[in-house]
Amino acid sequence: MCMERINGETITGIALALLGILFIYAGMVNSVWATIRPAAYLILAIGAAFITLGVWEIRKKRTSYVKEEHSHH
């Protein structure tokens, strides 16, 4: 079993999720940052969606690769 490469959607999702978590933490320790906490949750949700999209794309490519490989035999 070969290891799949990580794609751009997954990297983007991880970066957005970490940014959202950072903003949520900043909102816990600073009252000014607390005002943007709803936006931080939105950023976190968008990051999770990008991670899901990236994983789905990797699985779709792997499935099509396996189908191509079996059709040649």
Domain boundaries, the chain: 8-71
Residues in the chain where the model's pLDDT stays below 50: 1
Radius of gyration of the chain (CA): 18
Helices 8-29 + 37-71 axis angle, to 10:
160
Q: Which residues of 5-24 are buried (b: 16+ CB within 10 A; e: fewer)?
A: eeeebbebbbebbeebeebb
Query: If DSSP states are collapsed to H, E and C, what string results for 40-53?
Result: HHHHHHHHHHHHHH
pLDDT of 60 reads: 86
- Predicted pLDDT of residue 1: 43
| pLDDT the model gives residue 6 | 84
What pLDDT does residue 38 have?
A: 94
